[in-house]
Amino acid sequence: MFFFYLLSGLFLGWSLGANDTGNIFGPAIETRMLKFKSAALIASIFITLGAVFEGSGPSGTLGKLGSVDALGGAFTVALAAGLAIFLIVRTRIPVSTSQTIVGSIIAWNVFSGRLTDYRSLLTIAASWVVAFVLSGVIAALLFYIVRPLVNRSKLHLLRQDLVVRFGLIVVGAFGAYSLGANNIANVVGVFVPVSPFKDILIGSHFVLTGVQQLYLLGALSVVVGIYTYSHKVMRTVGKDLFQLSPITALIALLAEAIVLFLFASQGLYNLLLSLGLPTIPLVPVSSTQVIVGAVVGIGLAKGGKNIRYNILGKISLAWVTAPVLAFLISFATLFVMQNVFELKVQQEANYIFDRNSITKIVEDGFDSAALSTVNGRSFKTEHDIYNELNEEHLLTRNEIMKIIKIAELYPLKIELVKLNNTGMHRRFTEAQLQVLKRYEGKTYQHKWQFKRELTKHNEFKRYAAPANEREKNHNRMLDGKLEVLYRSFSDLDGKN
Amino acid sequence: MALLLKTTRFVESQIDNFLDMVSDSATTFQLAIQDYLAGRIDQFEERLAQIRELEHRADDLRVSIERFLYERTLIPENRGDVLAILENTDEVIDNIKDSLVQFSIEMPEIPPELNDLWIQTTKASVAAVEQLVFAVRSFFRDLAAVNNYIHKVYFFEREADQIGEKLRRKIFGMKIELSRKSQLRFFAIHIEKISDAAQDVCDRLAIYTIKRQL
A150 contacts in B (CB within 8 Å)? 213-214
C-beta neighbour count of A450 within 10 angstroms: 21
Torsion sign across C-alpha atoms A302, A308, A313, A316: negative
Chain B contact probe: residue of A141, A144, A158 with most B CBs at under 10 A: A158
> Can you tell me the distance from the alpha carbon of A92 to that of A239, in angstroms, rounded to the nearest whole number?
12
pLDDT of residue A167: 95
Supply the pLDDT for residue A64: 63
Is the pLDDT at A152 greater than 70, yes or no? yes
Residues of B with CB under 8 A from a CB of A: 1, 4-5, 8, 11-12, 15, 73-78, 82, 139-144, 212-214
Query: Given this model, what pLDDT does residue A455 score?
Result: 92
Q: How far is A68 from B46, CA to CA, in rounded Å?
A: 88
Residues of A in contact with B15 (CB under 8 A): 158
Query: Region A262-276: what's the mean pLDDT?
Result: 82
Query: What pLDDT, on the 0 to 100 scale, is given for residue A430?
Result: 93
The answer to whether the CB atoms of B78 and A165 lie below 8 A apart is no
| Contacting residues of A for B139, CB less than 8 Å apart | 157
**Closest-CA distance of chain A to residue B68, Å:** 12
Residue A122 is predicted with a pLDDT of 81
What pLDDT, on the 0 to 100 scale, is given for residue A254? 94
Residue A25 confidence (pLDDT) above 90: yes
pLDDT at A115 over 90: no
Q: Is the dihedral of CA B177, B179, B183, B188 positive or negative?
A: positive
Beta bridge partners of A413: A443
Q: Which residues of B touch A146 (CB under 8 A)?
A: 214
Contacts of A159 in chain B (CB under 8 A): 8, 12
The CATH number given to whatever domain includes residue B49 is 1.20.58.220
Q: Pick the closest to residue A138 from A304, A366, A357, A294 (CA basis).
A: A294
- Least confident range from A7-21, A167-181, A470-484, B61-75: namely A470-484
- Average per-residue pLDDT for chain A: 88
pLDDT at A61: 52
Residue A63 predicted with pLDDT over 70: no
pLDDT of residue A28: 94
| Ramachandran bin of A284, using left for φ above 0, alpha for ψ from -120 to 50, beta for the remaining angles | beta
Q: Which residue has the higher pLDDT, A202 or B190?
A: B190
Closest to B1 (Cβ–Cβ): which among A33, A158, A166? A166
**Threshold 0.80, pTM exceeds:** yes
Candidate from A147, A162, A247 with C-beta closest to B8: A162
Provide φ and ψ at A401, rounded to 5°. -65, -35
Nearest to B77 among A150, A151, A246 (CB): A246
CB A488 within 8 A of CB A193: yes
pLDDT above 50: residue A495: no
**Using one digit for the tens of pLDDT, what is the confidence trace for A281-333?**
777 678 899 999 999 999 999 998 889 999 999 999 998 999 999 999 999 99
Lowest mean pLDDT among A3-17, A418-432, A447-461, B159-173: A418-432
* A303 interfaces chain B, CB cutoff of 8 Å: no
3-class secondary-structure state, position A243? coil
Residue A60 in this model has a pLDDT that exceeds 70 = no
Residue A154 touches chain B, beta carbons under 8 Å: yes
Q: Counting Cβ atoms within 10 Å, is residue A383 exposed (0-12), middle (13-18) or buried (19+)?
A: middle
How far apart CA A321 and CA A307 sit, in angstroms, is 22
The answer to whether the CB atoms of B8 and A158 lie below 8 A apart is yes
pLDDT mean over A29-43: 93
Put simply, the answer to whether A33 touches B76 (Cβ < 8 Å) is yes
pLDDT range class, residue A65, cuts 50, 70, 90: low
Query: Is A77:A65 a contact under the CB 8 Å cutoff?
Result: yes
Residue A333: is it exposed, middle or buried by C-beta count within 10 angstroms (0-12/13-18/19+)? buried
User: Do A156 and B141 count as a contact with CB atoms less than 8 A apart?
Assistant: yes
A72/chain B closest Cα distance in angstroms: 48
**CB within 8 Å of A430: residues ≥ 6 apart:** none
Rounded to a whole number, what is the largest CA-CA distance in chain B? 69
Report residue A58's pLDDT band, with 50, 70 and 90 as the boundaries. Answer: very low
Chain A nearest-CA distance from B132, in A, is 17
For A413, phi and psi rounded to 5 degrees?
-130, 120
Report ipTM for this prediction.
Answer: 0.91
Between helices A2-30 and A287-301, what is the axis angle to 10°?
Answer: 10
pLDDT in tens, A234-243: 888 888 999 9
Range of the domain at B64: 2-212
* pLDDT for A62 beyond 70: no
Low-confidence winner among A357-361, A468-472, B166-170 (lowest mean pLDDT): A468-472
Q: In degrees to the nearest 10, what's the CA dihedral of A382, A383, A387, A390?
A: 60
A147 against A192, higher pLDDT: A147
The most confident of the ranges A42-56, A323-337, A353-367, A406-420 is A323-337
| Nearest chain A Cα distance for residue B148, angstroms | 14
Instruction: Report d(CA B181, CA A146) in Å as an integer.
Output: 59
Which chain A residue lies closest to B2 (C-alpha atoms)?
A: A162
User: So what's the pLDDT on residue A496?
Assistant: 36
Q: How many domains does chain B have?
A: 1
**How do residues A207-223 score in pLDDT, each as one tens digit?**
888 888 889 999 999 99
Phi-psi group of A201: left, alpha or beta (phi > 0 → left; psi -120 to 50 → alpha; rest → beta): beta
Query: What's CA B141's distance to the chain center, in Å?
Result: 20
Q: Determine the straight-line distance between the first and last CA of chain A, rounded to whole angstroms.
A: 19
Which of A155, A157, A160 to mutate to probe the B interface, most B CBs <10 Å?
A157
φ/ψ of residue B27, rounded to 5: -65, -45
Q: State whether residue A339 sits within 8 Å of chain B by CB.
A: no
**A157–B contact, CB cutoff 8 A:** yes
Contacting residues of A for B144, CB less than 8 Å apart: 151-152
Per-run averaged pLDDT (10 residues), chain B, 214 residues: 86 96 97 96 96 96 93 89 95 95 95 95 97 96 94 97 96 94 95 95 95 88
Q: In sequence order, what are the beta bridge partners of A207?
A: A201
CB contact under 8 A, A152 and B144: yes
Report whether pLDDT(A226) > 90.
yes
* Integer CA distances (angstroms), A266 to A263, A380, A470, A477, B10, in order: 9, 36, 13, 10, 45
